[in-house]
């Protein structure tokens, strides 16, 4: 009985279990199909993600290329605008040049006609030009002759005055020698020194008291002392002290050529050659002595002397500027100070302007542009 019930119960449960198993199997099949579908979807999504990334990469690359292309296009457009502007400007300049060439051709033609007319005029006036050139040459020769006469008169007068100044300096030397000898004598002869000092004091007193009874007595006393002095030392009271400063009446001339100063030596070319050759007379010796002192004081070193001959005048380049009417001083051997007024001489410049087409101006340029030469022993240089 129980077995039957158990069998009946088993059948009932078995039927239910089978039905449940079938339902479970269907659900499991549904689950498996769902999982497969999910796997396929995930696989599809993975593929699409890769495609998306690739598309994004392509978009980024294409965007950069597009940006670069747009920039190049903008540069090309700017360059095109500049090129068009340049083309327009060049076309305008070309047109202007063509117009100017046409104008110049017209002017050239007009100039040819003027030249032709002027050449005809030159041919007609040539005889008059020749006549005027002849007159001009004669006038220049007359001027040079007159200038040479004036310059010779100046150099002769200058030589006479220099000789007088040298004589004054020689007298000054003799006076200094006599005074030196007298002072030496006073050292050995006290009475002689006493007489000289007493005379000096009496002369000072006389200059203060002036004329009068006392003044006459002092004068008598001085006369007695001078008589005694002359007896003891002959010749001491005769000479008068020569002048210390001598002003020469003649001027010393100078010229300025392109900011260089040249003294014109007051001698002729002939006299200078004689001085250099040491073939001079007594009169020329005074001038030679003066020139030596002048060159030593205002020239360069003797072995660097720059001396030029220009139209018969000797020009000494000096190392200083001289103003017009300025005085220069030269000390002579015995101490005499010789003062000379300097005047600017426009004579050379006048010759240059007066004779521009001759070789005078060429010589002037050579003089100005040259560096000088050593001329102490060989005389003066001649610019070529």
Please give the mean pLDDT across all residues of the chain: 77
pTM for the full model? 0.51
For 153-171, write each residue's pLDDT tens digit. Answer: 888 898 889 988 888 888 8
Percent helix / strand / coil, the chain, rounded to 5? 70, 10, 20
What residue segments make up the domains of the chain, in order of their start? 174-232, 245-384
Average confidence (pLDDT) over 82-91: 88
Q: What DSSP line would sit under 22-33, residue for residue?
A: HHHHHHHHHHHH
Helix (H, G, I), strand (E, B) or coil at 199: helix
Residues 22, 6: Cα–Cα separation, whole Å: 24
Residues 372, 374: Cα–Cα separation, whole Å: 7
Tallying the residues shown for the chain, one arrives at 384
Query: What is the per-residue pLDDT for 348?
Result: 52
Highest mean predicted confidence (pLDDT) among 37-51, 73-87, 277-291:
73-87
For 100-148, write each residue's pLDDT tens digit. Answer: 998 888 888 888 888 888 888 888 888 888 888 888 888 888 888 888 8
Query: What is the per-residue pLDDT for 46?
Result: 82
For 12-61, write each residue's pLDDT tens digit. Answer: 778 778 888 888 888 888 888 888 888 888 888 888 888 888 888 888 88
For 307-353, write each residue's pLDDT tens digit. Answer: 777 777 788 877 666 676 678 888 888 888 988 888 887 655 444 44
For 359-384, write each residue's pLDDT tens digit. Answer: 334 444 444 443 333 333 334 444 33
Cβ 165 vs Cβ 246: under 8 Å:
yes
Average confidence (pLDDT) over 80-86: 88
Average confidence (pLDDT) over 256-260: 76
Query: What is the per-residue pLDDT for 356?
Result: 42
> Which residues, including other chains, have CB under 8 Å from residue 322's CB and lie 6 or more apart?
254, 261, 263, 328, 342
Query: What is the per-residue pLDDT for 235?
Result: 63
Query: What is the per-residue pLDDT for 361?
Result: 41
Instruction: List the one residue out of 300, 298, 291 whose CA is nearest residue 328.
Output: 298
């Amino acid at each position: 009985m129980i077995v039957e019930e158990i069998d009946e119960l088993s059948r009932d449960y078995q039927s239910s279990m089978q039905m449940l198993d079938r339902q479970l199997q269907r659900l499991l099949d549904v689950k498996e199909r769902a999982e497969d579908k999910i796997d396929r979807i995930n696989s599809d999504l993975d593929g699409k993600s890769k495609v998306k990334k690739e598309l994004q990469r392509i978009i980024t690359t294409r965007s950069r290329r597009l940006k670069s292309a747009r920039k190049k296009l903008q540069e090309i457009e700017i360059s095109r605008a500049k090129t068009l502007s340049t083309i327009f400007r060049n076309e305008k300049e070309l047109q202007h040049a063509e117009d100017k060439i046409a104008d110049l051709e017209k002017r050239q033609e007009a100039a040819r006609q003027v030249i032709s007319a002027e050449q005809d005029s030159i041919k007609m006036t040539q005889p008059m030009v020749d006549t005027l050139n002849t007159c001009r040459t004669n006038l220049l020769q007359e001027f040079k002759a007159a200038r040479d006469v004036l310059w010779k008169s100046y150099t002769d007068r200058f030589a006479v005055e220099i000789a007088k100044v040298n004589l004054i300096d020689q007298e000054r030397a003799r006076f200094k020698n006599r005074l030196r000898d007298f002072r030496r004598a006073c050292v050995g002869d006290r009475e002689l020194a006493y007489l000289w000092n007493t005379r000096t004091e009496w002369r000072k007193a006389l200059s203060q008291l002036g004329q009068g009874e006392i003044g006459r007595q002092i004068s008598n006393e001085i006369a007695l002392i001078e008589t005694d002095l002359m007896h003891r030392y002959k010749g001491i009271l005769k000479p008068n002290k020569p002048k210390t400063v001598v002003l020469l009446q003649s001027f010393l001339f100078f010229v300025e050529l392109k900011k260089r100063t040249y003294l014109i030596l007051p001698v002729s070319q002939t006299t200078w050659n004689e001085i250099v050759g040491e073939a001079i007379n007594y009169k020329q010796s005074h001038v030679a002595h003066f020139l030596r002192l002048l060159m030593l004081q205002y020239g360069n070193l003797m072995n660097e002397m720059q001396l030029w001959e220009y139209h018969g005048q000797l020009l000494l380049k000096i190392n200083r500027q001289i103003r017009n009417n300025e005085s220069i001083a030269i000390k002579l051997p015995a101490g005499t100070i010789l003062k000379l007024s300097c005047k600017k001489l426009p004579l050379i410049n006048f010759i240059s302007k007066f004779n521009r087409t001759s070789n005078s101006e060429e010589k002037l340029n050579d003089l100005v542009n040259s560096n000088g030469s050593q001329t102490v022993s060989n005389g003066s240089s001649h610019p070529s």
